[in-house]
């Protein structure tokens, strides 16, 4: 079981590097914002798997908080790109 899980963790890290490529390369600002959002979702999956492997349930608390913050950041940056305030 440990072998499968470490292979999956390595695959998720590879996904994270693809997102980092898009964040660095991305021709426009929405590209970068989107890649940051996707990276946050990947980190949620990674953290949940770490929680399963190690057996500590507080890893899932980190995942929940990260999902929340990444959602708020994506909405705020989208509104900023649109040229409007957060409460419009």
Partner 1 sequence: MNETIGAVLIGVGVAFDVLGCLGLVRLPDVYNRLQAATKCVTLGTCLILIGVAISAGGASAALTIKSLLCACFIVLTSPVGAHALARGAYRSGVRLCDGSVTDDYAGSETLARYRAGMDAAAADRAREHYDAETETT
- Judged by the rule CB under 8 A, the positions of this chain that interact with partner 1 are 1, 4, 8, 11-12, 14-15, 18-19, 21-22, 28-31, 33-35, 37-38, 41-42, 44-45, 48-49, 51-52, 55, 57, 60-61, 63-64, 67-68, 70-71, 74-75, 77-83
User: How far is 76 from 42, CA to CA, in rounded Å?
Assistant: 20
Output the smallest distance, CB 70 to partner 1, in A.
8
Output the smallest distance, CB 49 to partner 1, in A.
7
Contact 9, 46 (CB under 8 A): yes
Residue whose CB is less far from partner 1, 55 or 87:
55
Output the smallest distance, CB 32 to partner 1, in A.
10
Output the smallest distance, CB 87 to partner 1, in A.
14
**Secondary structure string (H, E, C) spanning the chain:** CHHHHHHHHHHHHHHHHHHHHHHHHCCCHHHHHHHHHHHHHHHHHHHHHHHHHHCCCHHHHHHHHHHHHHHHHHHHHHHHHHCCCCCC
């Amino acid at each position: 079981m440990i072998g499968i899980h470490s292979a999956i963790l390595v695959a998720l890290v590879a996904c994270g590097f693809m997102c980092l490529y898009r964040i660095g390369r991305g021709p426009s600002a929405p590209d970068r914002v989107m890649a940051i959002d996707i990276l946050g979702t990947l980190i949620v999956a990674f953290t949940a798997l770490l929680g399963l492997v190690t057996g500590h349930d507080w890893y899932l608390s980190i995942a929940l908080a990260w999902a929340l913050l990444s959602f708020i950041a994506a909405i705020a940056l989208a509104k900023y790109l649109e040229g409007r305030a957060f409460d419009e």
